[in-house]
Structure 1
Amino acid sequence: MSMLTPPGMGGKYRITGDRYPRMRRPRNRRRIVVAAIAAVVALGLAGWGTVQLIDVFSGDGETTTAGRKTDCKPVPGASAQPVVMLRPAQITVNVYNATPRGGLAKTAADELKARGFTIGKVGNATAAYDKKVPSAGLLLGSPTAVKGSFQVLGTQVKGTTSKTDTRKTADVDLILGTAFTTLAPKPAADAALAALAKPAPVPSGKC
């Protein structure tokens, strides 16, 4: 009989060997580690969801369906483009016809004059542009006209392109092209001029 067998016990209760038997199964450490990781992940997701909900209901800027801000408050005084200070009367326009249709330059010039523009020369386009302007019109002038006269005159003719040259004067050429039919309707042109004078604010980019 083993020394581990209590006195008076034998038979099927007899304990053999020199070690006590284990009374419970060893813990599975892998399961414990996995459970701990899962708990940490769940807590992280819950916290992230709470932050997104706060962003959605905070009311600052536009939000996506995920709750992230996609727009910011505009900066006071900032604008999408330079404010155009020129009035039509301050712009001298030379109107040239680059199409086979006769009388087009004079008709367009008369309408531009009625809208307040100062008219310079009127006639047919030079050989460099005659029948070579596929758009509704080409605005031609000095580099200083790009953010001034071109913007104002461009509101009167839809579909124009622009090009600069080496002239030193402030006048601008409007060369009527193949796609030209008529000037933009006056209400639409007036609305475009008003938009140039009061451009939309630019977002700050910081939320």
Structure 2
Amino acid sequence: MGGKYRITGDKYPRMRRPRRRGRLVLGVVASVAALSLVGWGTLQLIDVFTGGGDEASAVGSKAGCKTKAGAAPSPSASAAPLPKPGQITVNVLNATARGGLAKKTADELKKRGFKIGDVGNATATYDKKVKGTGILLGPSTALKTSLPVLRTQLASAETRTDTRKGAEVDLIIGTGFKSLSTKAAADKALAALSASGRAAPKKSCG
């Protein structure tokens, strides 16, 4: 070329390609994502070998401890223990025409460890109106406590509840009454009742 556009010297200008910063940014993002994925995978492996961490603990707490037999605890496990005969006050009332029956029965119950309250004739509501061996009467709170214990002494008696406020219970002797259950039979029934009422399945959380 000539004229004023003539090129002099022995070096020629080189055209550089523009830097592609987009590829560099993409590479950085991909590296960060890969590192995050590796870290997440490591945490998952730790959870597997340690039993699930906090999540496993939460699941275990919701499931609750089971008994050694693998079943849920029975209601008797949380039931209050049954009272002993010495903690129960019994009113012995005679609803029959036979005299002295209430005192004789009360004396026997006392020998067997029960506390004795009133002894005498039944009220007009029950006098001469109890056809069976007897009625065990008490507040609703005694239905699963004092009354079952007293019933071990007269297995054939009927159990009822009323609206009384106190904890005392009544043994109302009926026309079919002959005697209390034998002491041996009563003791056996009381032992079985106490075992079923107090026994609680052992819990196992291991």
Q: TM-score, normalised by structure 2?
A: 0.58
Instruction: Report if aligned partners of 1:92, 1:172 keep a CA contact under 8 Å in 2.
Output: yes
Structure 2: gaps spanning 5 or more residues? 1-68, 201-206
Residues 60-99 of structure 1 correspond to what in structure 2 (within 5 A)? 75=71, 78=74, 84-99=81-96
Residue identity in the other structure for 1:138:
I
Aligned-pair CA distance for 1:98: 0.3
In structure 2, the partner of 1:197 is 194
Residue identity in the other structure for 1:175:
I
Runs of 4+ in 1 over 4 A off after TM superposition: 73-77, 79-84
Find the residue that maps to 2:196 and give its secondary structure: coil
Aligned-pair CA distance for 1:83: 6.6
Aligned residues: 131
Aligned-pair CA distance for 1:138: 0.5
Return the match for 1:115 from 108, 112, 115: 112
The structure whose residues are more often helix, as a share, is 2
Q: TM-score, normalised by structure 1?
A: 0.58
Compared with structure 1, are the counterparts of its residues 151 and 74 closer, same or farther at alpha carbon in structure 2 (3 Å cutoff)?
A: farther
Compared with structure 1, are the counterparts of its residues 124 and 76 closer, same or farther at alpha carbon in structure 2 (3 Å cutoff)?
A: same
**RMSD after superposition:** 2.5
In structure 1, the partner of 2:97 is 100
Aligned-pair CA distance for 1:105: 0.3
Structure 1: gaps spanning 5 or more residues? 1-72, 203-207
Aligned-pair CA distance for 1:199: 1.9
Pick the structure with greater CA Rg.
2
Residue identity in the other structure for 1:176:
I
Residue identity in the other structure for 2:111:
A
Aligned-pair CA distance for 1:75: 4.5
Aligned-pair CA distance for 1:141: 1.0
